[in-house]
Amino acid sequence: MSAPRVKHFWLGIAICLCAAGAAPASAEPPVQRFAKSLTFATVSHESPEQFDVAPFDGLLAWLEASYPRVHATLSRERVGAASLLYRWPGRDASLAPILLTSHLDVVPAPDPEAWTHPPFAGVIADGFVWGRGALDDKVGVIGMLEALENLIAAGFVPQREVLVALGHDEEVGGDAGAGAITKLLAERGVRAWFSLDEGMAIAEPGATSLTERPLALIGVAEKGYLTLRLTARAPGGHSSVPPPSTAIGRLSRAIVRLEEHPLEARTQGVVSDMLRAVAPHTSGIQRLVLSWPGLFGPLIEAQLESQTSTNPMVRTTTAVTMIEGGVKANVLPREASARVNFRLLPGDTSEAVVAHVREAIDDPEIEITVETVNEASPVADVDSDAFRLLAEVIHDFAPDAVVAPALVVGGTDTRHYAEVAENGFRFLPVRFDIQDFERVHGRDERLSVENYLGAIDFYGRLVKRAAGGGLP
């Protein structure tokens, strides 16, 4: 996920937040292991026919060999093609478990020759670990396992059960990975106290001017996904005798009307909660406006929707992404179609969006077909004990950061796990600057050694606080 350079204080709040190489012998063993994990090219492709299980087999075997205490203490279950579900029983079976999640797969790495270091070499250089998946999201996978290995070595025994779910296809929707794990947990009657996945992080002051302090954003909801196909039909014929409007002309008018009538913007809910959390750490007129999002809603909405990067925070967005029609310059097309992608704000349903589209285009001869739909996720309770605990752990881990709830405008596996968790949170314990956001799914993906070691520390703190227990 990438973000442009921030020009004013509103921009940062939309930042959304996954072969073998030799690591330098001087690197700490945890860092060497992290680097090694990046050498497995566990790439997800849109086409199932392109799926290559061999790198996943290699990674899973390596995880078992590299984390012996975890695999001797926790049960491990392979789900589907290459996903993993770990279970660490707690002393008190009456307590709901915590569910820590991440994903093993990564996006492709095109133009590898343009990378500073090969994308699947796992190079440690200049204080960074370089490679595809360093940020998205093998830092979560390996950071969790390192933390659990350390806790077991120290004799920690959880009071509350700990579940760790690692999907293998998050980058293409997660249906076969997180979806299958969720189905399995549901069949077993599991209801987790909360789940935690990636999706948001700690934005450094250079990545947002909303506040001069780092901003630790906890994703408490994520937008839905809807793709509609609009189709116009006409008799066809020769272009020398055209009708007043062709199928392409009719479709074009429908698209223009749709773009001229976006869905309504609103700041209620997650955005308001975030602004109120940040307000005490601002000053002047900015503090006044952010403290009262209900009162200054129209002003806030105008600011947010005026920028491409922040507009998605306050409305269901409309994006015409594909168009088809015509076979030859002198032939009138019998059919023209377009695909329109909507990212659904929590509270907006796919049914309501389809109704809006019908009204906006105002043409009964345009056929509207739903091709793909995932409703917006449930919104986690920011007043829950689980949210407060997570916020406290983040504050202890990063005391200089302002902790605030946020809306994830992309997608994560949490949309699946929401079925078996009371609350779903999205937070990666990593500090991001502008360049880091540009590296996710881009070239030269990397993570600083300091950031990675910090992630291990965070997951250890979280398990000790959330799972309770201690030394025997």
37 secondary structure, DSSP code: H
Q: CA 406, CA 218: separation in Å to the nearest integer? A: 6
C-alpha 417: how far from its chain's center?
Answer: 13
The DSSP element (H or E) to which 454 belongs, if any, is: helix 449-467
Check: CB of residue 449 under 8 Å from CB of residue 31.
yes
Q: Cα torsion at 70, 454, 452, 211 (round to 10°)? A: 140
CA-closest candidate to residue 198, choices 466, 455, 467, 461: 455
Q: Is 170 a catalytic residue?
A: yes
Q: Which of 136, 161, 170, 198 is an active site residue?
A: 170
Strand duo 128-130 + 446-448: pairing:
antiparallel
CA-closest candidate to residue 321, choices 342, 291, 299, 293: 342
What does residue 304 show for φ and ψ, rounded to 5 degrees?
Answer: -70, -45
Check: CB of residue 407 under 8 Å from CB of residue 425.
no
Burial of 366 (0-12, 13-18, 19+ CB in 10 A): buried
**Percent helix, strand and coil across the chain, each to the nearest 5:** 35, 20, 40
CB contact burial 408-417 (16+ within 10 A = b; e otherwise): bbebbbbbbb
Q: Is 385 a catalytic residue?
A: no
Q: Which residues are catalytically annotated?
A: 105, 170
